[in-house]
Each structure stands twice: as structure tokens, then as C-alpha cells.
Structure 1
Amino acid sequence: MTNRTAAPVTVIGLGLMGRALATAFLKAGHPTTVWNRSSSRATELVAEGARSAPSVGAALEASPLTVLCVTDYRAVRELFDASEAELAGTTLLNLTSGDSTQARETARWAEQHGARYLDGAIMAVPPVVGTADATILLSGPHSDFGTHRTTVEALGTVTHLGEDHGLAALYDVAGLAMMWSVLNAWLQGTAMLRTAGVDAATYAQFARRMAVGVADWLPGYAEQIDRGSFPAEVAALETDARAMAHLIEESEALGVNAELPKLFKAMADRAIAAGHGGEQYPVLIEEFSKP
């Protein structure tokens, strides 16, 4: 049941994530209008109290905030160009996945059409949307964020990253870099330990403690990067490189793929060749920052 004192909101795009967004708004009491190219996807939401708009234009007119969750950024522009819907005066919140360049270009496109624009990223799977465990990243004008903050908070824990429209997309892919790096490192270790009969579940407990421990290093390492100074307070990079060589040798001896540790060592070797062997591991930021 909707609360008519809550701000109306429109959701365009009713894939798994779009439907999760609309459901979260409904549960929070927001009068919710939905639109999807295939109207059948709105059936369950209408049964829950949503209003299905007959057109994109009608969907925009229904609410001061329209949340977009479609295939990609190109689809956003094609959708509105094809519908010839009037964008002037509305605020678009684009939660479609893409990169920072696309986010900034779409912000300029929206401005040219008279719309206000926020870009965002959903760091959660659909079942988590609407709970505090769903991280919602937003970027764009702070005034627009302030206007619609209460509405967007129905989706999860919301963080405004700054005025630059590209920041949410950048944080999104940076988070993916963390996710895949941790998972790949765990898979490397799991593959090695399986050769000794250790199952993945047993190693996962040890690996989790390692991951948490390494995460605790990040604030101190970040200080070194921001200062541009990398004293070897714990270990020098050349010491780490010797351990990387051991990891490669052990992997190859066990018949396990060694591509990942070889990548680690190749980057460390370049930094050492450039004269950074006596500095601490975060000095590798110089290698990661190169094209």
C-alpha cells in the first residue's frame, strides 16, 4: 500500500534489477509508476500497487524523479529519442551499468534536453535491493541529490560521491576490480591446496582471515600513495618479488596454472628495474597508473 505523502517515482526498465527497484519503492510507500517496452513485465508490480504508464512520456510526467535501469547507456538515449518524450523539467537517475565517459556524455545529453541528471551504480544483487546491505552510489549535482535523497534511500544505503557524473561508474568498476582480484587469488590458492587433498570449504576459512587481514593494511598503504612516499616499514618490494617467485615455482611444480602469479611478478620486476626495489608494495601504483 502506497503512502501518498512519499514522493512519487517512476522506474523505466523492468528487468530483474528494474523490478527489484520498483518493488523497493512500493514497499517504502512511494507511489510508483513503471514502464517497460514489454508491458507484461509490469503485471506483478501492478498487482503490488504500481501504475503502468502507457508511454515513456506518460511515465516521465507521472513523477519528479525517473529511475532508469535498461541495457546500456546507448539504450537510454535511443529510448528517449524514439519516443520524442519531453525531458525538460524532469530529473533522471540513471542506474544503468556503463563507464565514466558514457556517464558524463549522458549527463551532457540530458542537460541539452533540459533535464537534470544523476548517475548511479548499484553494488548489490536484486534480492538485496531495498535493504541496508544494498550499496547505491550516486554522482552529480549535490542539489539534485539532496532533493531526491529520501526517495533513493528506499533502495538501500546511499552514498553521494561528488559532482562529477562519472564517479559512480568509476567506483563501480573499481569495486569489480577488487571483487575479481580477491576471487581469483582465492581460486589460485584453492587450486594449489586441492593437490594435497584440501577441499575448498576448508581453505575458504583460512582465505577469509587472510583477506580481512590484508584489508586492514589499506588505510596505511593509501596514506603512502597519497603522500607519494613508500618507505619499507613492513617489507621491501624486492622481498615480495622473491616470495612471488616461490609462488610461481610452487604452482608450476603442482601442475597448477601460474599465469596470475607471473602477472604479479612481472609488474614487480618492472618497478624494481625502475629503482623501487627498496620501497614498500604500494609503490606499484606507478605501474598500475601507466597505460
Structure 2
Amino acid sequence: MNTAAAHHRSPVTIIGLGPMGQTMAAVFLDRGFEVTVWNRTASKADSLAAKGAVRASTISEALAANELVILSLTDYDAMYAILEQASEHLSGKVFVNLSSDTPEKAREAAKWLADRGARHLTGGVQVPPSGIGRPESSTFYSGPKDVFEAHRKTLEVLTGADYRGEDPGLAALYYQMQMDIFWTSMLSYLHAVTVAAANGITAEQFLPYASATMSSLPKFIEFYTPRIDAGEHPGDVDRLAMGVASVDHVVHTTKDSGIDASLPAAVLQVFKRGMAGGHAGDSFTSLIEIFRKPAS
């Protein structure tokens, strides 16, 4: 193995062996990396140890094994619960925190680790475990650029690496904005499927229409993006007053179907706040101004 290849296969420690952590460890092992693993429930490391992973018996042992430590935990509180008990082993380490949490929690964690002599990269994985090891998958990263560049090749074994900037909170911010779109969109899909079922329409029958609607969204986003960045919301293509009527029809259709209407009703309330704010003749994108002033 040449020097460059050896550098790109620098050993790595993975802490947290849920589905994501297990998959990441397995991918590293398959690519010839030396991998040390640790999990609070030790049995979760059994299958990885059988594949050649080094099973650390304590968190201190796991940290002492390698410079690069990848955290795959529920949230940042779990990070503190684990690392506080081994604070003497943090200095000189690089932590790539792929746990989900808020931008502010990421900034706090980066400072907490820096105060203990360690460096921190925030990561936001954009795929489920099945996407790990695929170059077309992507993960947001933020934090010190020199640290990111030093470990880029290793991180790209897992997914493509999308570096967002020095601010530790940026990767978490981009991730949470993606989740804002994902969960809201998928919940609206589940609501529509429930209305469909109440009217004798199966999810399979509704599938092509749901897919067509979802597939049309990128075109709308592309159209509205320059207007939003310019702070312009002209009512030349759509008007908020029309949107209110449309959402009101969705609410009544839902109620007539005997289905919980709380989701579209919440959307209708946002639209009505826009109307009350004087945006009836503007595009529905003027609701951005409503979101900037949270409801009291």
C-alpha cells in the first residue's frame, strides 16, 4: 500500500452503534480501515467484531485508540453523557459528530471540546443507513476547514462531503432545514392518503398523483427562489386570497371525510394571518413575512 493510500485509510473510532453507526463501521471495514467501536450496550458490537473491528471495553479505551472519532448518537446530550466520563482522553482528538441536534447545540459542543483540547466537525447525514457507502449520498459538514480537509478522504468513504463553512452550527442548520421540508411534506402525504382511504381510494391508486405533485415542487421552488431573495412577492402568478380559498376547501374536504383536519387547519391559520397582515393580493410567498413574526 502506498503512503497516500495508507493515509486515506487512517484508523477510526466509532462511538454509537445504532443502525447508522453499525453501517458506517461495516463500510469502513469493507474498505480496509482499522475500526475501533464502542457502544453502551456492548453486544451491539458483536457482528462488527466478527468482521474484524476492535471492540473497546471502555469509552476511555475507544478514545485512546485513534485520533479520529466519529460519534453516531441520538443527540448531543448523549455525547456529553459519554465523553464527560473520559475527559482526560479528549485532548488531541478530532470528533466528527454525526448526531442530530440544533445548530446552537453544535456550537456549544465545539466550544466544550475546544476547551478540552479537542477539535469538532459537525455533520448532518442526508441519507438513511442504506445510503452509507454510496458516493451519490451526501453529508453536510461544518467546522475548522483544515480539520475537514485533513479527514475529507476518510469521510468520503461514507458519503459525499458537502462542506458548508467554519461555523460549527452550519451543518446542523442545513440538516434541520432539510428535515423541515421532509417531515412536513411526508406528513402532508400521510394526511392525503388518510383522506383517500376514507373515500375508498387506496394508497396504490393515489400513488401516481401523489408522485406527480411531489415531482412538480422543484419547478415551483426554482421559480420563486430569485423573487424570495429579492424580497419580492408580486401577485402576478398566484395570490394569497386564492390560497386561502384553496386551503379552506382542503379543510372542508377533510372534515367531510371524517378525518382529523388539524394539519390543514394549521396551514389555513397561517394563510389567514397573511390576509390579516395585508397580503391578500400578494403571492403566498409573502407568508415569509408572517413566519418572521411568530404568533403570540
Q: State yes or no: 1:32 paired with 2:35.
A: yes
C-alpha deviation, 1:3, in angstroms: 6.6
- Range 107-116 or range 270-279, more displaced: 270-279
Report the residue type matching 1:187 in the other structure.
L
Structure 2 runs not aligned, ≥5 long:
none
Q: CA RMSD in A?
A: 2.0
Measured against aligned partners, the alpha-carbon deviations of 1:236-264 in whole angstroms (never above 9, x if no partner) come to 11111111122222222232322222212
TM-aligned CA distance change 1:59 to 1:241, over 3 Å: same
What TM-score does the superposition give when structure 2 sets the normalisation length?
0.90
1:117-196 equivalences in 2 (<5 Å): 117-132=120-135, 134-196=137-199
TM-score computed with the length of structure 1 as normaliser: 0.92
Aligned amino acid, residue 225 of structure 1? I
Equivalent position SS for 1:266: helix
Judged with a 3 Å threshold, the aligned counterparts in structure 2 of structure 1 residues 5 and 246 are, in CA distance, closer, same or farther, namely closer
Task: State the SS of the aligned residue for 1:256.
Answer: coil
Structure 1: runs of 5+ lacking an equivalent? none
Task: Choose from 1, 10, 35 the match for 1:7.
Answer: 10
Instruction: After TM superposition, give the deviation of residue 127 of structure 1 in Å.
Output: 2.9
State the one-letter code of the partner of 2:151: H
Match of 1:244 in 2: 247
Shift in Å at residue 193 of structure 1? 2.7
Equivalent-residue separation in structure 1 for 2:265 and 2:26 (angstroms): 46
> Is contact 2:8-2:154 (8 Å) kept?
no
Contact 2:67–2:94, Cα closer than 8 Å, also in 1: yes
Aligned to 2:90, what secondary structure does the other structure show?
coil
Q: Which residue in the other structure is 1:286 paired with?
A: 289
Take 1:82 and 1:207, find their aligned partners in 2: how far apart are those partners?
Answer: 49
SS in 2 for 1:108: helix
Measure, in 2, the Cα distance between the counterparts of 1:45 and 1:190. Answer: 40
Give the letter aligned to residue 151 of structure 1: T
Q: 1:261 to 1:88 in 2, by over 3 A?
A: same
What is the identity percentage for the equivalent residue pairs of Structure 1 and Structure 2? 33
User: Which stretch of structure 1 is more off in the superposition, 259-268 or 78-87?
Assistant: 78-87
Q: CA deviation at 1:132?
A: 3.3
- After superposition, the C-alpha distances for 1:70-91 in whole angstroms (9 at most, x for unaligned) are 2321221232221233222111
Measure, in 1, the Cα distance between the counterparts of 2:64 and 2:179: 35
Counterpart position of 2:95: 92
Q: CA separation in 2, counterparts of 1:58 and 1:271?
A: 57
Q: Which residues in structure 2 correspond to 1:261-280 (within 5 Å)? A: 261-280=264-283
Does the CA-based 8 Å contact 1:89-1:115 persist in structure 2? yes
The yes-or-no answer on 1:23 pairing with 2:53 is no
